[in-house]
Amino acid sequence: MNALNFDPGICAKCETYDCLMKCQYMDFDLESAREERWKLIRGEDTRILNDCVTCYACEEYCPYNNHPFYLIVERQEEKGIHPVPKPIEKSQIKAMAPKGVIAPMKVKEPVINMCYFPMMLGTIRGKLFEGASAIVGSDIFCNLMYLHFARNSVIKERLPKMIENIQKNYLEPSGVKELICYHDECYGTYTSWAPAFGIEVPFKPIHLFEYLYNRLSELKSEIKPLNLKVAYQRPCSNRLSPEIDHFVDDIFGLIGVERVNRKYDHENALCCGGVFEAQQRFDLMEKNQTLNVDDMKENGATHCVFNCPFCFWTLSDLVSQKGMTPIMMSDLCHQALGE
């Protein structure tokens, strides 16, 4: 098994304890944060392991990139803690397992990795994705969702083969060196999780938003400004790549969209609540969804923009009930091009 690249010495030098002090779901004062974090590092019982909602945020809060969330997940699995009920965990791990059947395909750049979202293939269309190849399926699924299940071992077991499948069956035979990641989870897997566990990624991952921004810049003369006020629902897996967030504003600037100034955005973003439902924390789910969506509406948003399909499926009904339009980022960009 690949060991986590975690340095206790870095934690010893840290005096702010941002990984815990900034947590929106657990309350700590400075002394309790210090005490509980060292329990975590030493592998002792700590309330962190039972109270963590697996929102990924502490990965972003750590100023040293020392992977506190990955350590939490490692400790949860070591101690047999199951954030999601075992029947749900087992059924999901089985249902989304690789099938072992993959047909090599000649691909052309740009290659869009749709991960395990075949239902989203319809978004890869028009001028925005002209000439693109899309790949999808359980045999290229990043498996990072099992962080929510405290099952790092599943990711460690499956990911190397998924990477090999992508490289050997699609990219290498076609002479392609870059992979556009449709979902934040895939991008975070290749740029954060894999390096943290010493797993080599032989291709260059590109976030969908960087691709969209570059493509829209090429098509700038064809853009019709949308003149909308929107809220952006930041997915928890984007916590693994906060450097990407500026592309949201860059894209909105190109297509004539204003990102409303609200409380639960950027570093203070709230989880969509889908993970809380899986964890059967229904009170927390309802509370956070209400705070989040009311915050969008009260600050003048007419649309809520998503990149994560799970976030979309979880929040779209509630967003619609509040009189706002839920829309995927790629579809918003299609609209700006008149498609």
In the chain, where the domains are located:
8-78, 86-212, 220-336
Show Cβ contacts of residue 249 under 8 Å, excluding neighbours closer than 6 positions.
259
Mean pLDDT, each 10-residue run in order, the chain (339 residues) = 90 94 96 96 97 97 96 98 96 94 89 95 96 96 97 97 97 97 97 98 98 98 98 97 97 98 97 94 96 98 97 98 98 97
Whether residue 118 has a cis bond before it, omega within 30° of 0: no
Fold (topology level) of 86-212: Glutathione S-transferase Yfyf (Class Pi); Chain A, domain 2 (1.20.1050)
Cα dihedral 266, 58, 196, 76 sign: negative
Question: Torsion angle, CA of 177/180/186/188, rounded to 10 degrees?
Answer: 80
Instruction: Report pLDDT for 1.
Output: 60
DSSP string covering 79-121: TT--SS-HHHHHHHHHHTS--S--------SSEEE-TT-GGGG
Alpha carbon distance 19, 122 (integer Å): 39
Alpha carbon distance 248, 306 (integer Å): 11
Instruction: Report pLDDT for 324.
Output: 98
Instruction: Report pLDDT for 250.
Output: 98
Alpha carbon distance 301, 305 (integer Å): 10
The CATH number of 220-336 is 3.40.50.11810
DSSP state of 25: S
Residue with tokens 């989304």, as numbered in its chain = 96
Give the C-alpha distances (Å, rounded to integers) separating 90 from 85, 154, 300.
9, 11, 42
Instruction: Report pLDDT for 104.
Output: 86
242 SS3 class: helix
